[in-house]
Structure 1
Amino acid sequence: MHSSTESESAHRPSLPISKLTLGTAQLGMPDYGIANDTGGADANALLEGSISAGITSFDTSPEYGESEKRIGEFFTQSARIQEMAVMSKVKLPKQLGMTEKEVTAHMYASLEASLSRLQLKRLPILKLHDPDILIMHGTTVTQTLRNMRSEGLIATGGVSLTDRTDEQYRRIAACLEDDIYSVIQAPLNVLDHRLQASGAMTRMRASGKTIVARSVFLQGLLLMNPERLPDSLHEAAPPLHVLRMLAEQEGISIAQLAFSYVRDMDGVASLIIGIEKREQLEENLQLLQGPALSERCLHAIRTQLNHITERIISPALWNRDARNNRRTIEGNIKR
């Protein structure tokens, strides 16, 4: 295995990742998100608006319905896609008994299909949709990504951490030392301090990883009225009350507090924001220009919101009733 210290400068590409990354699940999945009413109809307008606003990075996946296809069609008449940091993913089945040959074949087939839909010859960033696969097939997956890079099919690789971020990171940390994994996508928000508390963020920064944050608004939970939470999420009411108090003391919205906290976090290169409508793009651009949090506020967040139960910060643990009762989803800011 090659570590990140071996020929690091030669292997780490210069990627045009903007501070905001457009999450494109909404573009390809009409039913994605409880509040999504665009059905992907505004895909071209959102992509054009994003580029006009200086966004150069886009997060997609074969799992996001028609998302890759829509992106490819939008850029087909322009060479601008070559200047963008398009991030897609590969998801490997977890079935036992897969051979090295089968793992490699699955990865190449997935990448080739993504390249075809995106109308690209080289994908800037290919992330593992579920990095737990590294526990079973770490050597094969890593070598396959390295081969893809040497063949000019990808610029670099990465992983997308799931809800169990600190535990998952510990289990795959040795694999992530390889320089092929230069982009780490992870859920980061004002209630979720697991990666910081475990030291994982410090190690990522020290090894030169590009950190991309998702779940900035915790799929909309942070923006909900604590008095109107579904019963299954009643435990979230106290920390939400604290957020409201801190936002009032700072003289800013809860959305701005949540956004600024992650935006200014050491090592975070970009925030993935799911957007359905052009006005939401404008709202997020305004948040991007918003004020930094005071040291008093940061101290309060670190001391009062540093031990939030996983039942709150892991959406995978929310039951179906709670999900169906969410008033907002990540990136759908309604105040």
Structure 2
Amino acid sequence: MKITLGTVQFGINYGISNTHGVPSDEALQTIFSVAAEAGINQLDTALAYGNAEERLGLFASDRFQIITKFPAVASQNELENTLEQSLIRLKTTSVYGYLAHNADILIENPQLWETLQKAKAEGKIEKIGFSLYHPEQLEKLLALNIVPDLVQLPYSILDRKFENKLAELKLLGTEIHVRSVFLQGLYFMNPKQLPEKLKPLTAALTELQTICTENKVGVGDVALNYVISNPNIDKVVMGVETAAQLKQNIQMVSNWEANSGLFSKIEAIEINDKSLLNPVNW
């Protein structure tokens, strides 16, 4: 199963289309059970996700590999302490992945990479890396000889700015996780009811939804399977607010029938202001 369960919704209200809020303890345990039964074996979290790390420590038990992320820190000592605190909250002695929440943290403080390598050598982290927002960040880090074991980056049917970096990363042996496959729910929204700032995306969103309707497939099915079908992508990080949503996402993958012609039509959709495909700019 190429899905990694994102956990930001478990600690804070998140997402442009989130109507459920943070799940209760009981709902969270149900989500974890559904994930484990489906063969999902990874959780993606971060210090910035409210109390998500604590909740994973309480309810995820040892059924999942954990990837967490650290914010900007002032020194190597602070990074060491931040990692230790995350391990305490997660109730574990090691994590599968530990990433800079924004690659700029390592660009501005490359000496932090030594701290991550040390923690990896001590067995506290299996894979070290960073979360990317722009391709230029990757270029800068590789120039500093900071080669990640694991990266997370945004990638979806309309936002393919990292397309030509995927093969390069695989050649370096990097595990690639992608996020924002639904652009926080943007792809499901009514094009006529977009917030003022997103109105320039109306035509592209309308075209996307029309193509899906004509081919009798759901927008979610197309968005998810487009990314999952990419051989260079190892995992798709997906957040959910309910177990029902997770079951629906799993079903989308299980029932999908390949349709390269459909993908080609979507790849031809033109977007004038691509900066609007980055939620940071919303």
TM-score with structure 1 length normalisation? 0.78
Verify: 1:186 aligned to 2:153, yes or no.
yes
Partner residue of 2:117 out of 131, 142, 146: 146
Partner residue of 1:296 out of 258, 261, 279: 261
Verify: 1:86 aligned to 2:55, yes or no.
no
Aligned counterparts of 2:19 and 2:143: Cα–Cα separation in 1? 39
Output the amino acid matched with 1:146.
Answer: Q
1:310-329 superposed matches below 5 A: 310-318=274-282
Q: Matched residue of 2:129: which SS?
A: strand
Relative distance call for 1:182 and 1:291 in structure 2 (3 A) is: same
**8 Å contact 2:32–2:60 — kept in the other structure?**
no
Aligned counterparts of 1:297 and 1:176: Cα–Cα separation in 2? 39
Aligned-residue offset at 1:25 = 1.2
CA-atom RMSD in angstroms: 1.8
Cα distance per residue 1:157-207 (max 9 Å; x no partner):
121112xx22222222334653xx2111011111111111xx211211221
Output the amino acid matched with 1:153.
Answer: K
Output the amino acid matched with 1:283.
Answer: Q
Aligned counterparts of 2:22 and 2:167: Cα–Cα separation in 1? 39
Q: Which runs of 4+ in 1 moved over 3 A?
A: none
- Return 224-233 or 208-217, whichever deviates more: 224-233
Verify: 1:55 aligned to 2:40, yes or no.
yes
Aligned residues: 279
TM-score with structure 2 length normalisation? 0.92
1:192-203 superposed matches below 5 A: 192-196=159-163, 199-203=164-168
Partner residue of 1:104 out of 72, 76, 94: 76
Aligned-residue offset at 1:86 = 0.5
Output the amino acid matched with 2:203.
Answer: P
- Return 294-303 or 141-150, whichever deviates more: 294-303
State percent identity of aligned pairs.
Answer: 28
Relative distance call for 1:176 and 1:251 in structure 2 (3 A) is: farther
Relative distance call for 1:36 and 1:62 in structure 2 (3 A) is: farther
Aligned counterparts of 1:301 and 1:171: Cα–Cα separation in 2? 31
Aligned-residue offset at 1:295 = 2.5
Verify: 1:26 aligned to 2:9, yes or no.
yes
Output the amino acid matched with 2:152.
Answer: Q
**8 Å contact 1:123–1:155 — kept in the other structure?**
yes
Aligned counterparts of 1:176 and 1:36: Cα–Cα separation in 2? 43
